[in-house]
Each structure stands twice: as C-alpha cells, then as structure tokens.
Structure 1
Amino acid sequence: MQFDSKTPIYLQVINSIKMDIVNERIKCGEKLPSSRELAVKYTINPNTAARVYQELEREGVCYTKRGMGTFVTDDVNIIKACRQEMAQDALNLFLKSIMELGITNEEAIEMIRSRKDEM
C-alpha cells in the first residue's frame, strides 16, 4: 500500500480495512489478522496497528474476543452505515473539487456518465 503523506497512516489503514469489509473481501464475523500480522501486512509500527483496531472497535466495525482475536461485526447495519459514510466522504471531496473548478451540475453529471461508460 502506498501511503499519502497528507493523511495519518492509521486512518489510511482503517479506510483500507473498511473498504475491504464493505466490498465483502472481508466478511461479517470474519477474524482479522493479529496486530502483529497487520503491522507486517501494511509495513507499519505494531503500535499503529493496535491503534487501527482500537479505532475500528470504537466505531463498532469490529470487536475483540479476549484470547481469540479481533473480528468484524456481524451487524450488517453498521457495515451499511460505514459504506454510506465512505460514499458521502468521497462525494463531498468530489463536489468540493468540482465547485472549485467552476463546473456546473450538468457538466459534472455528464462527466460522471461519460467516465462511468469508459470504465
């Protein structure tokens, strides 16, 4: 993973894990790697990996079973809310950039349609 120097690493790892969860590459109830394994996978400090799991747990995206590890929540409503929040963040960033360029709504919609067809 290439890290962006403008955003804290732990937030980038959190977003990567959330993306894997909302896209079902990681399933509800699935065990996540240990903090050490996560640190190796993302080449981050083990303390950063522990912080990632603390934040995900605080958000309700995962939970820890003492002695067993960290697991993705079974609550599909939390996953849906996470997906919606991520989509809103992406949309807000897009709209802010489009507005700064002076592009009209109609132009933006046409650009989206055209680009989506290309993909």
Structure 2
Amino acid sequence: MEFNGNAPIYIQVMDLLKAKISAGELNLGDKLPSVRDLSKELKVNPNTIQRAYQELERESLVFTQRGLGTFITEDSELIKSFKTKEINDLIKTFIEDVIKLGYDIEDVLEILKTYLNEEEINEHSGNK
C-alpha cells in the first residue's frame, strides 16, 4: 500500500479496511489479520494498526474478542448503513467537484444518464 501525506497513516489503514468491507472482500464476522501481521504486510508500525483497529471499534465496524482477535461486526444493518453513507459521501464529493467545474445539476444528470445508458449497453453486449 502506498501512503500519502494528506492524512494520518492510521486513517489510511482504516480507509483501506472500510473499502474492503464495502467491496465485500471482508464479510460479517470475518477475522482481521493480527496487528502484527497487518503491520508487516503494510510495512507500518504495529501501534498504527492498533490505533486503526481501535478507531474502527469505536465506529462499531469491528469488535475484539480478547485472546481471539478482531472481527468485522456481525450487524448487517450497520454494514448496510455504513455502505449507504460511503456512497452518499462519494456522490456529494462528485457533485461538489463538478459544480466547481461550472456544471449545473441538470448538466450532471444528463451526463450521468448518458454514461449509465452506455454502461448498460456495454454490459449487455459484453463490451466491458
């Protein structure tokens, strides 16, 4: 993983794990790698991974069982609302960015409709 200087590393680790949850690479109840294993894999200090896990636990996305490890929550509604929030954040950022470029909402909607129609055509014709 390449880290950037725009955010603390523990937040970037959190974002990585959240992305894996959103993408379904990590599922309800899955065990996360140990702090030590993930720190070796990502080449970061174990304290950084520990902090990321603690913050994810505060957000209720993971839970720790003493002596067993850290696991993804088993609360499907929480994961669903997390994913919805992630999507809404992406949409908000996208809309803010295109408005900064001088587009209005009607332009954005037309561009999205065109894009989605083209994607649907490509998907049905196997041109992906």
Residues of 2 paired with 1:11 and 1:114: CA distance? 35
Higher mean alpha-carbon deviation, 11-20 vs 104-113, is at: 104-113
Where in structure 2 are the equivalents of 1:36-115 lying within 5 Å?
36-115=36-115
Q: Give the aligned length.
A: 119
2:24 is the alignment partner of 1:24: yes
Segments ≥4 residues shifted beyond 3 Å = 113-119
Highest CA radius of gyration, 1 or 2?
Answer: 2
Q: Aligned letter for 2:36?
A: R
More RCO (CA 8 Å, sep 6+): 1
Residues of 1 paired with 2:49 and 2:67: CA distance? 17
TM-score (normalizing by structure 2): 0.83
CA RMSD of aligned residues (A): 1.6
- What are the superposed Cα offsets for residues 61-80 of structure 1, whole Å, 9 maximum, x if unpaired? 01000000001110001101
Rate the CA distance shift 1:30–1:93 in 2: closer, same or farther, 3 A. Answer: same
Q: Aligned letter for 1:72?
A: I
2:8 aligned partner: 8
| Structure 1 unmatched runs, 5+ | none
| Structure 2 unmatched runs, 5+ | 120-127
Cα displacement (A) at 1:2:
2.2
Q: Aligned letter for 1:44?
A: V
Residues of 2 paired with 1:4 and 1:108: CA distance? 30
TM-score (normalizing by structure 1): 0.89
Rate the CA distance shift 1:114–1:16 in 2: closer, same or farther, 3 A. Answer: farther
Q: Aligned letter for 2:69?
A: G
Residues of 1 paired with 2:5 and 2:94: CA distance? 20
